[in-house]
């Protein structure tokens, strides 16, 4: 396939991008999905997925996205590794600048997803990989029979804290309010888990290291009393929300105040022929199932756009 002949480029290979790719490949659009590493997105960091329809016993995050990739490739979706570093309109087409070259397409779906937010406390940056982690699935097994801290009160923090109880002797969950944001079933599970101690209305103010530069504890503050105390832990897992991956979009499409891509109801961005799908899009709910819906929607829009604006060869 000559690069100038591409109908559609999809940037990002998580559930939204892979679903867009599946639909576009079946519509016989000449499509390339560009993914920085291997396809999967944040779901790869999720140990177990219990709320994706069709898997009554649940499914591992890895298996779920691997099945999505296989399904898209069965219809000949072209998946390429590459880092998109810039986008620009060039007449009827869009130029996609990659770290090692350039491709062009008639239209584009942005499905770059999101990545974990940093907490921003002293010690955090210096100890990433030395006790500070943003992925329990990746790093949990390193914390067998020791105490760990988890920060956050959303679905991710609670799911990952529950996963960590398989390894750690005790999991201290720090949440800045006295009510969890996580959904009902997860709230029930965490409050019933004897290995988890929830530190309500509490925040970390510092992560402390030992002489080897590894995490040895945290300093925390009770927001109701103002009291500060120290707690010895060997790992600190941060789950304080996600931020959109939009470095390559600067100046190309409109972003909201938090940096998410603004779209209309049909996922059209501020740029003609460009849609956004999945976690990168400004929207209220971020689930695998909603990302998949976005991906299908965006691919249909791309197909219609090409039919309306170009003659299909």
Told to check if 153 binds ligand NAP by CB under 6 A, we report yes
Closest approach of ligand NAP to the CB of residue 244, in Å: 11
Among 60, 83, 130, 241, binds ligand NAP (CB under 6 A): 241
* CA angle (118 as vertex; 116, 124 as ends), nearest 5: 130
Closest approach of ligand NAP to the CB of residue 153, in Å: 3
Nearer to ligand NAP, 89 or 176 (CB): 176
- The C-alpha atoms of residue 128 and residue 56 are separated, in whole angstroms, by 36
Among 29, 242, 261, 280, binds ligand NAP (CB under 6 A): 242
Among 35, 147, 155, 234, binds ligand NAP (CB under 6 A): 155
Told to check if 35 binds ligand NAP by CB under 6 A, we report no
Nearer to ligand NAP, 203 or 301 (CB): 203
Q: Which residues are catalytic?
A: 135, 138-139
Nearer to ligand NAP, 186 or 299 (CB): 186
- The C-alpha atoms of residue 128 and residue 138 are separated, in whole angstroms, by 13
* CA angle (107 as vertex; 104, 112 as ends), nearest 5: 90
Give backbone dihedrals phi and psi of 142, rounded to 5 degrees, phi first: -75, -5
Nearer to ligand NAP, 8 or 288 (CB): 288
Closest approach of ligand NAP to the CB of residue 216, in Å: 21
Nearer to ligand NAP, 89 or 189 (CB): 189
Told to check if 293 binds ligand NAP by CB under 6 A, we report no
Told to check if 124 binds ligand NAP by CB under 6 A, we report no
Alpha-carbon separation of residue 228 from 204, 219, 222, 311 (angstroms): 9, 7, 6, 67
DSSP line for 145-207: TSEEEEE--SHHHHHHHHHHTTT-SEEEEE-SSSS--S-HHHHHHHHT-TTEEEETTEEEEEE
Nearer to ligand NAP, 87 or 182 (CB): 182
Tokens of 284: 């209220």
* CA angle (39 as vertex; 37, 43 as ends), nearest 5: 110
Closest approach of ligand NAP to the CB of residue 163, in Å: 11
For residue 301, give the nearest of 90, 91, 110 by alpha carbon: 110
Told to check if 152 binds ligand NAP by CB under 6 A, we report yes
For residue 302, give the nearest of 33, 42, 98 by alpha carbon: 33
Span near ligand NAP by CB under 6 A; candidates 71-79, 214-222, 239-247, 260-268: 239-247
Residues 158-197 interacting with ligand NAP (rule: CB under 6 A):
159, 176-177, 181
Tokens of 116: 């974990």
Residues 41-80 interacting with ligand NAP (rule: CB under 6 A):
51
| Residues found near ligand NAP in the complex (CB under 6 A) | 51, 119, 151-157, 159, 176-177, 181, 203, 239-242, 285-287
């Amino acid at each position: 396939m000559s690069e100038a002949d591409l109908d559609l480029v999809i940037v990002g290979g998580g559930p939204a991008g892979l679903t867009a790719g599946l639909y576009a490949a079946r519509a016989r659009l000449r499509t390339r999905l560009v993914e920085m590493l291997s396809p999967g997105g944040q779901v790869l960091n999720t140990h177990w997925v219990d709320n994706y329809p069709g898997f009554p016993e649940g499914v591992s995050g890895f298996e779920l996205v691997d099945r999505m990739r296989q399904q898209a490739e069965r219809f000949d979706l072209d998946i390429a590794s590459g880092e998109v570093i810039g986008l620009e309109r060039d007449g009827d087409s869009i130029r996609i600048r990659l770290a090692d070259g350039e491709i062009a397409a008639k239209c584009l779906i942005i499905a770059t997803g999101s990545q974990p937010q940093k907490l921003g406390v002293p010690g955090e940056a210096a100890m990433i990989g030395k006790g500070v982690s943003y992925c329990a699935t990746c790093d949990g097994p390193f914390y067998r029979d020791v105490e760990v801290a988890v920060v956050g009160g959303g679905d991710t923090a609670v799911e990952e804290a529950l996963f960590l109880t398989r390894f750690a002797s005790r999991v201290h969950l720090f949440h800045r309010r006295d009510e969890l944001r996580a959904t009902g079933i997860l709230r029930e599970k965490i409050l019933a888990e004897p290995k988890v101690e929830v530190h309500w209305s509490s925040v970390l103010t510092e992560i402390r290291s030992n002489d080897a530069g590894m995490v040895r504890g945290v300093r925390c503050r009770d927001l109701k009393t103002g009291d500060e105390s120290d707690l010895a832990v060997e790992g600190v897992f941060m789950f304080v929300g996600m931020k959109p991956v939009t470095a390559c979009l600067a100046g190309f499409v409109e972003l909201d105040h938090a940096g998410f891509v603004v779209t209309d109801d049909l996922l059209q961005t501020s740029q003609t022929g460009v849609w956004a799908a999945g976690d990168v899009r400004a929207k209220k709910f971020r689930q695998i199932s909603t990302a998949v819906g976005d991906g299908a929607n965006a691919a249909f829009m791309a197909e219609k756009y090409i039919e309306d604006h170009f003659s299909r060869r």
